[in-house]
Amino acid sequence: EAEVAQSPRYKITEKSQAVAFWCDPISGHATLYWYRQILGQGPELLVQFQDESVVDDSQLPKDRFSAERLKGVDSTLKIQPAELGDSAMYLCASSLSDRGTEAFFGQGTRLTVV
């Protein structure tokens, strides 16, 4: 069964360091999402790609976060510099399109900033 792959599963980093997460969506899925989930809250959309284009990054803290999906396939989310408040679960999801189709989630990356 096709899955969304994310790595690493866990990451501990010191504040002010750079950290990067990788996501490989299900083959053929045009829409890719990066979410942040803080304990006790629902997922918060950070960035949404349609193929290689960003269609929504309104909640992305652009002074320190960046995301790219250069060939419209896999994607990288980077934080530089990391802050203590960035500790959270970072989830990647993909869907066939953005038109109401279900999203399939990866296992997530648990980030701890110390």
Partner 1 sequence: ILNVEQSPQSLHVQEGDSTNFTCSFPSSNFYALHWYRWETAKSPEALFVMTLNGDEKKKGRISATLNTKEGYSYLYIKGSQPEDSATYLCAFRSGAGNNRKLIWGLGTSLAVNP
Question: By C-beta, is 52 or 81 nearer to partner 1?
Answer: 52
In angstroms, the CA 30 to CA 43 distance is 20
CB of 80 vs partner 1, minimal distance in Å: 25
Q: Compute the distance between CA of residue 63 and CA of residue 4 in angstroms, rounded to an integer.
A: 27
Q: Which stretch binds partner 1 (CB under 8 A): 19-27, 44-52, 61-69, 77-85?
A: 44-52
53 lines the binding site for partner 1 (CB under 8 A) = no
> Closest distance between partner 1 and the C-beta of residue 18, in Å?
25
Q: Are 47 and 17 in contact (CB under 8 A)?
A: no
Question: Using the rule CB under 8 A, which residue among 10, 27, 28, 42 binds partner 1?
Answer: 42
* Run of H or E residues at 90: strand 88-95
